[in-house]
């Protein structure tokens, strides 16, 4: 299971290949955390969101 804090080592190793694109370390760290968050988020999409379902329909699990 992935830690909830920081960028996992496997992802950090992949991102390190792109460090030279960024002028500042702070920008690189921000993008690394942002992309990590995108990879970790749930796979829920708009069709499975409870507020977007028509009344009477059950959510698919």
Say if CB 48 and CB 59 are below 8 A apart: yes
In a domain, 59, yes or no: no
Residue-wise DSSP of the chain? ---SSS--HHHHHHHGGGGGG-SSHHHHHHHHHHHHHHHHS----GGGSGGGSPTTPPPP-
pLDDT score recorded for residue 29: 93
In a domain, 35, yes or no: yes
pLDDT score recorded for residue 58: 57
Range of the domain at 29: 9-52
Model confidence pTM above 0.75: no
pLDDT score recorded for residue 20: 94
Domain count, the chain: 1
In a domain, 61, yes or no: no
pLDDT score recorded for residue 11: 86
pLDDT tens string, the chain, 61 residues long: the values are: 555 678 889 888 999 999 999 999 999 999 999 888 888 776 655 555 555 555 555 555 5
User: Which residue reads 């829920």 in tokens?
Assistant: 44
Rg of the chain in Å (alpha carbons):
17
pLDDT score recorded for residue 46: 55
């Amino acid at each position: 299971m992935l830690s909830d804090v920081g960028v996992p080592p496997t992802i950090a190793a992949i991102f390190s290949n792109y460090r030279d694109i960024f002028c500042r370390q702070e920008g690189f760290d921000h993008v690394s955390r942002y992309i990590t968050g995108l990879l970790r988020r749930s796979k829920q999409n708009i069709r499975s969101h409870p507020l977007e379902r028509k009344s009477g329909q059950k959510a698919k699990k």
